[in-house]
């Protein structure tokens, strides 16, 4: 980053302090406020970090006004069309797309780490069969660190790389196990002859009783869905992973913190909430009622899958997800799917409504993902776990970048205190010895 100029903070025409302005490779410049408190005795105040850059990063760039998303400089549209999810994983982790030898080695390494320690299956038995899969994911992924004491030195790049491989390889196996556990069906072991997505689909949807023949159109669709979910700058769950990592916590604990944060309906839980919302709307004749509820300030209802903190234009992933949705429904002979047609009509009406236009509320990545996951045979309570499966690589890439960043320190925000002034305990609460 380069220091171009500075900004002076004045109060009553008195110069309070001068702060440098930094520029990155692209996007908004930043005011470096690291010395603000030292110079002025004041903090900045920015609930939700709407105007705050928490770090510098070279991984992903979003232009919310133009609806642009780049992974290591490559547009998401090109990656979704020309690359596989594992090629995108390699790109996010290493900064460049792999050549033929590099991707073959990376795929082989991932394949050889897809199995989990057999004792990990014992953790599932502690959960009720109807436990939400994200509750199980938090428990089981968090427990992974207890199996890998051999590579938890976060200062060792070799250990960090091995943890990255283990997490990218094992999270799909654990996600599939969550589903199998909820259905009472036996866990399926990975098969090394299958590619990453085929393997996951067989573990998720296959049984030991039948040969599983993955449909290549559906495999490619799911591969693309994982690409669309792989990373997204400093979103809530990635910021959680970075904050957890800044204390020196091990990578499995940090990724578990990210999984916990992603679960929220305002974040990764939205895909499940979108499908529930569409099923509640039920018919196009009810769309206006729900649009009015979403606009009513007294009503907590929001149009799930719409709006975004950064995108004030169409989320480029939503377009790609809609196309993938159409492709999968056509392949499955479901192009008349009632829910998909309802979603298209709801999108059309909302995008013409003044409220959504003025507030720049467009469909986001979660709006169509639930419909296509449902069509792929994945139950709605698994949707956020699928999001976590795609985002694991982004969380790890940011965790690794943060550990290697010479500027990184333990994250410790300050606050604007609005509580009671210093006071003594009243006599009636003081216990006589
Ligand atoms: C993800 O950050 C990321 O990058 C996240 C993500 C990723 O890849 O990691 O992209 C994944 O989380 C996508 C978002 C999924 N969530 C949803 O679809 C839930 C529905 N959306 C909203 O809850 C909301 O839009 C958020 C949480 C996504 C964004 O919230 P912000 O940025 O805090 O915006 P806001 O709540 O301040 O809303 C601004 C205005 C408000 O009205 P006013 O107070 O200005 O009058 O827009 C309104 C909101 O009431 N609004 C909505 C709305 N979203 C915002 N009104 C109706 N329906 C909505 N969906």
> Between 338-352 and 316-331, two packed helices, what is the crossing angle to 10 degrees?
150
Does residue 309 line the site of ligand 1, with CB under 6 A? yes
Atom 20 (ligand 1) nearest CA: 304
Q: What is the pLDDT of residue 166?
A: 98
State the SS3 of 196-262: HHHHHHHHHHCCCCCCCCCCHHHHHHHHHHHHHHCCCCCCHHHHHHHHHHHCCCCHHHHHHHHHHHH
Which of 307, 343, 395 should be mutated for ligand 1, with most atoms under 8 A from CB? 307
Q: Which pLDDT band, with edges at 50, 70 and 90, does 23 fall under?
A: very high
Q: What is the pLDDT of residue 6?
A: 76
Q: Given the residues 223, 231, 315, 366, select the one marked as catalytic.
A: 366
Q: How many CA atoms lie within 13 A of 342 on its CB side?
A: 20
Tell me the CA end-to-end span of the chain in Å, nearest whole number: 62
Q: What is the pLDDT of residue 87?
A: 98
Does residue 366 line the site of ligand 1, with CB under 6 A? yes
Gap from CA of 362 to ligand 1 centroid (Å): 10
Separation of alpha carbons 392 and 110, rounded Å: 14
Separation of alpha carbons 178 and 257, rounded Å: 18
Gap from CA of 385 to ligand 1 centroid (Å): 20
Q: What is the DSSP string of 65-104?
A: TTTEEEETTEEHHHHHHH--HHHHHHHHHHSS---HHHHH
Interval 339-380: pLDDT, tens: 989 999 999 999 999 999 999 999 998 999 998 999 999 999
Q: What is the pLDDT of residue 17?
A: 84
Does residue 317 line the site of ligand 1, with CB under 6 A? no
CA dihedral 345, 343, 225, 396 (to 10 degrees): 110
Q: Helices then strands (H, E): number in the chain?
A: 18, 6
Q: What is the pLDDT of residue 432?
A: 78
Mean pLDDT, the chain, rounded, equals: 94
Gap from CA of 56 to ligand 1 centroid (Å): 24
Residue 236 has pLDDT above 70, yes or no: yes
Give the percent of the chain with pLDDT over 90: 89
- Encode burial over 129-146: b for 16+ CB neighbours within 10 A, e otherwise: eebbbbebbbbbbbbbbe
Does residue 294 line the site of ligand 1, with CB under 6 A? yes
Q: Which two tokens stand for residue 377?
A: 């045979």
Closest ligand 1 atom to 231 CA: 8
Closest ligand 1 atom to 237 CA: 9
Q: Which pLDDT band, with edges at 50, 70 and 90, does 324 fall under?
A: very high
Residue 72 gets which letter from DSSP? T
Residue 9 has pLDDT above 80, yes or no: no
Does residue 176 line the site of ligand 1, with CB under 6 A? no
Atom 40 (ligand 1) nearest CA: 359
30 phi/psi in degrees, rounded to 5: -130, 150
Does the annotation count 398 as an active-site position? no
Q: What is the pLDDT of residue 4?
A: 64
Q: What is the pLDDT of residue 8?
A: 77
Q: Given the residues 179, 308, 374, 398, select the one marked as catalytic.
A: 308
The arithmetic mean of pLDDT across residues 229-256, rounded, is 98
Q: What is the pLDDT of residue 1?
A: 67
pTM value?
Answer: 0.94
Separation of alpha carbons 221 and 328, rounded Å: 7
Decide if 107 contacts 196 (C-beta within 8 A): yes
Atom 48 (ligand 1) nearest CA: 359
**Nearest Cα to 229, choosing from 315, 289, 292?**
315
Separation of alpha carbons 137 and 252, rounded Å: 11
Separation of alpha carbons 164 and 174, rounded Å: 15
Does residue 267 line the site of ligand 1, with CB under 6 A? yes
Q: What is the pLDDT of residue 336?
A: 84
Which of 63, 291, 308 should be mutated for ligand 1, with most atoms under 8 A from CB? 308
Interval 163-200: pLDDT, tens: 999 999 999 999 999 999 999 999 999 999 999 999 99
Does the annotation count 149 as an active-site position? no
């Amino acid at each position: 980053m380069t220091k171009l100029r500075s900004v002076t903070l004045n109060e009553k025409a008195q110069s309070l302090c001068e702060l440098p302005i930094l520029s990155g490779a692209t996007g908004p410049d930043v005011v470096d406020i690291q010395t603000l408190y030292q110079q002025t005795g004041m903090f900045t105040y920015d609930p939700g970090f709407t105007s705050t850059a928490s770090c510098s990063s070279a991984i992903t760039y979003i232009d919310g006004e133009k609806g642009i998303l780049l992974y290591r400089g490559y547009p998401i549209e090109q990656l979704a069309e020309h690359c596989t999810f594992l090629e995108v994983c390699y790109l996010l982790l290493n900064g460049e797309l792999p050549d033929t030898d590099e991707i073959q080695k990376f795929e082989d390494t991932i394949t050889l780490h897809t199995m989990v320690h057999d004792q990990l299956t014992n953790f599932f038995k502690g959960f009720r069969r109807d436990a939400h899969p994200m509750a199980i994911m938090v428990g089981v992924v968090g427990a992974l660190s207890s199996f890998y004491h051999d590579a938890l030195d976060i200062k060792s790049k070799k250990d960090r790389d091995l943890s990255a491989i283990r997490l990218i390889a094992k999270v799909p196996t654990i996600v599939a196990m969550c589903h199998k556990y909820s259905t009472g069906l036996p866990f399926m072991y990975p098969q090394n002859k299958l590619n990453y997505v085929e393997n996951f689909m067989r573990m998720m949807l296959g049984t030991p009783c039948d040969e599983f023949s993955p449909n290549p159109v559906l495999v490619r669709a799911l591969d693309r869905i994982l690409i669309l979910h792989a990373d997204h700058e400093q979103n809530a769950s990635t910021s959680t992973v970075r904050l957890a990592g800044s204390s020196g916590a091990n990578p499995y604990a940090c990724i578990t913190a990210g999984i916990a944060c992603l679960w929220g309906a305002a974040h990764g839980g939205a895909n499940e909430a979108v499908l529930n919302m569409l099923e509640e709307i039920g018919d196009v004749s009810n769309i206006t009622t729900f649009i009015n509820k979403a606009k009513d300030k007294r009503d907590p209802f929001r149009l799930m899958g719409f709006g975004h903190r950064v995108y004030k234009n169409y989320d480029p992933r939503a377009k790609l997800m809609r196309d993938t949705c159409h492709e999968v429904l056509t392949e499955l002979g479901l192009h008349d799917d009632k829910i998909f047609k309802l979603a298209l009509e709801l999108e059309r009406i909302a995008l013409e409504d003044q409220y959504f236009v003025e507030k720049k509320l467009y469909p986001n990545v979660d709006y169509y993902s639930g419909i296509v996951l449902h069509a792929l045979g994945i139950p709605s309570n698994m949707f956020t776990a699928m999001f976590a499966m795609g985002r694991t690589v982004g969380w790890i890439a940011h965790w690794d970048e943060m550990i290697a960043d010479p500027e990184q320190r333990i994250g410790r925000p300050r606050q604007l205190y609005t509580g009671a002034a210093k006071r003594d305990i009243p006599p009636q609460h003081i216990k006589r010895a």
